[in-house]
Amino acid sequence: HPTTRVLAAELPDHVGETLEISGWLHRRRELKSVTFLILRDRSGLAQIVLAEPGGDFPEETVLRVRGTVTANAQAPGGVELTSPEIEPLSSLAETPPFDLYRPTVPAVLPTILDHAPVTLRHPRLRAPHQISAASVAGFRATLDALSFTEIHTPKVVSSATESGANVFALDWFGRQAYLAQSPQFFKQAMVGVFERVYETGPVFRAEPHDTARHLAQYTSLDAEMGFIADHRDVMAVVREAVAGMVEQVASRAGEAVQLLGVKLPEVPAEIPHIHFADAMAMLGTDEPDLAPAHERYLSEWALREHGSEFLFVTGYPMTKRPFYTRPEPGRPRYSNSFDLLFRGLELVTGGQRLHRYEDYVAALDARGESTAPYESYLSAFAHGMPPHGGFALGLERWTARLTGVDNIRRTTLFPRDLHRLTP
Ligand code: AMO
């Protein structure tokens, strides 16, 4: 039978009607002659007025309230519910660790995470997750429009894809298996079937780093495409994906953006880029990789020189890239690869891949690796694979940089890291 529930945000459309709303008791305020209940649902807040003492429930009790929608300029949204009949739908066995109606959050991160099922109800703590959801919607919409096919690949695999160093091993019916570090092999293989694919899903890294930007499980937004000239074709798609994400955050998560005071970035029609060798020359160092301080410096440089909060660094040394990476033509010390820096942090990694079977065999051999663990992967290249490339964007890093939160654990509902396995 049809539900009669109306959302808090819809009340202004129903002045004069008697109807039903339901949600959580956000706040109870008892004045001398009147008691206000503020009810919270997924759309926002609604004020309920009790002319007589009552409504004596603890905050966060789930209530169903039937009442008359009455205009009142002082109420949130300009309306309130009067003459209410209140029915509790559940009572509380525990109280929240802090008052959820206070505009600022008076709790440290471990407390927030330990009590996530209730603390994330706080509008400020929920907002990054709403922004994250809108971002994924933008990623999907953009790649769908570019005729990428969405795929879902196994998260239990038989070999490491990125490096052997940070895989979780597990027992799979008596065989050694690993949690997937990336859908890398599968997305490449599916270029041979669909030409263009993407996936959004969990990946696992046995990260020994206890930092604000590393998780042991994170959400990877992956794409892979065939028939590219080189990595620059992939970079153009990264640009589109990021622009689509910003767009959907603005349109779907506008309230969360406002609540957090997020300044959405402008995505330039062409994101500026710098070759690794030139970046190193500018930084005056000859290390084989970029340190976090280098990334911050380069981001500041891009903002200063190009007015962009995004910067591609291209051509990373082959020694720092996985074996599937395509070397730079004419300069094989470097690679046809890139990272995208956003507000000082590495957000995306990608590049052109090897696509010929014999090149894979040679590349593994040059790294002193046996082809045996990669046999099923390599078979994808034995059947004809076009030149291709792709990228992966770390969702939590994106949301963290976008919202300005200090730790990516604030952008994942139930973080998994060195210390955290519950809730
Ligand atoms: P990479 O290993 O660089 O590349 O990962 C891609 C992006 O994922 C994010 N990221 C992380 N986020 C949170 N916690 C972590 N421990 C973590 N590690 C990485 C970063 C990073 O840029 N297969 C390649 C991608 C490709 O070439 O298509 C890969 O996985 O934002």
| CA of 242 relative to ligand 1 center, distance in Å | 16
Known binding residue 296? Answer is no
| CA of 21 relative to ligand 1 center, distance in Å | 43
Other beta carbons less than 10 A from residue 224's beta carbon: 29
ipTM: 0.99
The number of CA neighbours under 13 Å toward the Cβ of 241 is 30
Q: Give, for ligand 1, the residue of 349, 402, 408, 416 to mutate: max count of ligand atoms closer than 8 Å to Cβ.
A: 349
| CA of 164 relative to ligand 1 center, distance in Å | 15
Known binding residue 29? Answer is no
Rg of the chain over CA atoms, in angstroms?
Answer: 26
CA distance 26 to 201: 33
Q: Which residue has the tokens 């519950």?
A: 422
What is the pLDDT at residue 2?
59
- Hey, what are 14's tokens? 């129903």
Instruction: Give the ligand 1 atom nearest the CA of 347.
Output: 31
Residue 56 is given by DSSP the state -
Q: Give, for ligand 1, the residue of 143, 185, 210, 220 to mutate: max count of ligand atoms closer than 8 Å to Cβ.
A: 220
Known binding residue 213? Answer is yes
Q: What is the DSSP string of 228-274?
A: -SSHHHHHHHHHHHHHHHHHHHHHHSHHHHHHHT--PPP--SS--EE
Known binding residue 328? Answer is no
Instruction: Give the ligand 1 atom nearest the CA of 220.
Output: 8
> Which residue has the CA at smallest separation from atom 4 of ligand 1?
349
CB 43 within 8 A of CB 36: no
CA distances from residue 286 to 191, 273, 275, 290 in whole angstroms, order as listed:
36, 19, 14, 10
Q: What is the DSSP string of 158-213?
A: SS-SS-GGGPPEEEETTEEEEE-S-SHHHHHHHHHHHSEEEEEEEEE------STT
**CB crowding 96-116: b at 16 or more within 10 Å, else e:** bebebbeeebebeeeebbebb
CB 20 within 8 A of CB 26: no
| CA of 237 relative to ligand 1 center, distance in Å | 17
| CA of 173 relative to ligand 1 center, distance in Å | 29
Question: Is the bond preceding residue 423 a cis peptide, omega within 30 degrees?
Answer: yes
> Which residue has the CA at smallest separation from atom 11 of ligand 1?
394
Known binding residue 270? Answer is no
CA distance 169 to 60: 41
| Residuewise pLDDT in 10s, the chain (423 residues) | 556 899 999 999 999 999 999 999 999 999 999 999 999 999 999 999 999 888 999 999 999 999 999 999 999 889 999 999 999 999 999 999 999 999 999 999 999 999 999 999 999 999 999 999 999 999 999 999 999 999 999 999 998 878 777 999 999 999 999 999 999 999 999 999 999 999 999 999 998 889 999 999 999 999 999 999 999 999 999 999 999 999 999 999 999 999 999 999 999 999 999 999 999 999 999 888 899 999 999 999 999 999 999 999 999 999 999 999 999 999 999 999 999 999 999 999 999 999 999 999 999 999 999 999 899 899 999 999 999 999 999 999 999 999 999 999 999 999 999 999 999
Known binding residue 394? Answer is yes
> Which residue has the CA at smallest separation from atom 18 of ligand 1?
214
What is the pLDDT at residue 251?
98
Q: Give, for ligand 1, the residue of 211, 217, 218 to mutate: max count of ligand atoms closer than 8 Å to Cβ.
A: 218
| CA of 393 relative to ligand 1 center, distance in Å | 7
CB 177 within 8 A of CB 170: yes
Known binding residue 396? Answer is yes
CA 70 to chain centroid: 40
Known binding residue 111? Answer is no
> Which residue has the CA at smallest separation from atom 20 of ligand 1?
394
Q: In what order do the strands lie in the sheet with 196-204?
A: 149-150, 196-204, 217-226, 388-394, 345-352, 337-342, 310-314, 273-275
Identify the residues whose C-beta falls under 6 Å from ligand 1: 162, 182, 184, 205, 207, 214-215, 218, 220, 346-351, 390-392, 394, 396-397
